[in-house]
Amino acid sequence: MKDQRLQISDIVRHIDDATLGALNVPEFQRKYVWRASKVVDLVDSLWRGYPVGTLLLWESAYESPRTALGTQGPKLWIVDGQQRVTSLALLFGKKPYWWPDATQWNRFYEKYDVLANIARDKDDLEFGLVNPIRRKSSEWLSVRWVLNSANLSELAAEVSEKLGNTKRFAEIHEKLQSIKKIETAQLYEIIVDHELEDVAEIFGRLNTAGTKIRESDIVVALVAAKQQGWIRQKFDPFLKDLELKGFEFDPGVVVRTLAIIGHGSARLKEVPQSFWDPSDDFDEYWRKTKEAISAVVKNLIEYGVLSSDLLPSLNALIPVFVMRATFPQEFQFGKAFGWLLSATRDGRYSGSATTVLDRDTKQIRAGKSFSDTIGDLTGLLSAPVGFTSDDFREEYTDKVLRLILYLTVFNAKAKDWIKQDVRIGFDKEDNEINEGFKPEWHHIFPRKVVKGSFDLASVDCLANIAVLNEKANRSFSAKVPQQYLKDYNVSPERLDEQAVPADGLLDVSRFEEFLKVRASKLAERATAYVQALAR
């Protein structure tokens, strides 16, 4: 390990030119997430000479996955500090050579234009973001212009003239010089040359308050290093395709599935690094992984799970993916989905559950048949098969029971209460499944109506929640149910589809009785739904 100091201008120079750039971003550093206001704070700190943190760089022996062959020099991968380095690139207007989307970069370039108010005292300059008023003002000047100016005297003369007072030239020139000094500010860098696993541990210890590098992040970086362009050309496009369908998976879910299908272990540390080398076997494992995940996602959409946001645990999907890959001919999604709901309700893969996941997926791969495997896995669960009224007296923030509520509504082919010819979860224009759909959780008795008369737990319980398409919830939010149901001509059929009792129980005075009846109806329908899946 070694350390050094580099001037800001040197850092920018190395991210602007791929042929000379020593800095690169490993594949586990995926997105730029800083708000524009945070870049303003960074500029202000640099101008005042405040410390802005340390860069953690990895001196890797691997080739860079983002540059052309033959152009790479020794690379320092940015493990911690990507947000600051990218912000500096925006500040200077220099697109990093690893940033692939020029259109997106141009949007950031405009949005993150930091201005300095040169009318302020030279010892207390004000920095802010561009807006129409500041853009027209002669007192606000782009910091980017100053940093990229080859002649501050000419710039100072131009600004003084715009201000209508050429006598202020010396004052303006001094302020511009103080801004220009930002490029000579220094950042402290720590450079490590350890193995991949050690880099994750070092990062975790130095950055305990920030984002953690996970085991799967390191594997993604390893594959990127071993198979040039694979992440960018195959892995990321697959994730993007899933995202467009409404399923935004953490890369770790896909990486772990690949490791299980190809090597048999959910413990990524047990997978030899040679597994990730380019080979026909690896290509075949990747094909099986993509096929299994794509097929299961298609099944989920058909069963009403139109977005990954509806699922309380994405880890529980991994065994289903492995089942589909292990038993492609026998696989029955209904049974697998029923098991998934029970395992999720049981909390089997919540939190850190690599040991359980590893044991279960090994059992799947060793199974003689799909039916026997489902039976064996179900026998490991303790969650009841059916539901009781008490379950639907729980608060609707319970993601597992909320999913069950949604599924019973979807299974009943319930239609929206405003667009009564459109099914819940379907697109309004062509009445086809709306991939990525996120339901609205509507309080049948709105909070404003029963506030103060009943405890919040009762008001927020699942028995008081209906599932609607977007916009309906806001339209009903301040009215008693009898009123908004009448205003929108909501038919009795719409209510029955969601197990809403309408026989006089929609009066506020009968709220508790309403909850009791509806909770019982929901429990009956939910039990019938999950039992049907198991057949």
Phi, psi of 250 (to 5 degrees): -65, 135
pLDDT tier at 145, thresholds 50, 70, 90: very high
pLDDT at 70: 38
Whether the predicted pLDDT of 430 surpasses 70: no
Question: So where are the chain's domains?
Answer: 215-378, 389-534
The CA distance from 403 to 209, in Å, is 32
pLDDT at 209: 47
The CA distance from 22 to 76, in Å, is 6
pLDDT at 98: 74
468, β-bridge pairs: 440
Query: In angstroms, what CA-CA distances link 202 with 27, 197, 212, 464?
Result: 17, 9, 11, 49
List the 23-24 sheet strands across, edge first: 2-7, 186-192, 54-59, 76-80, 23-24
Query: Residue 300 corresponds to which amino acid?
Result: L
What is the end-to-end Cα distance of the chain in Å, rounded? 60
8, 55 Cβ separation under 8 angstroms: no
pLDDT tier at 208, thresholds 50, 70, 90: very low
What is the total residue count of the chain? 535
The CA distance from 464 to 451, in Å, is 14
User: For residue 264, what are its two tokens?
Assistant: 């048999």
pLDDT at 67: 43
pLDDT tier at 474, thresholds 50, 70, 90: confident
Whether the predicted pLDDT of 273 surpasses 80: yes
The pLDDT of 171-188, averaged and rounded, is 92
29, 193 Cβ separation under 8 angstroms: no
**pTM exceeds 0.85 for this model:** no
Asked whether the CA dihedral 262, 264, 265, 266 is positive or negative, the reply is positive
Query: In angstroms, what CA-CA distances link 155 with 74, 126, 158, 183, 217?
Result: 38, 19, 5, 17, 46
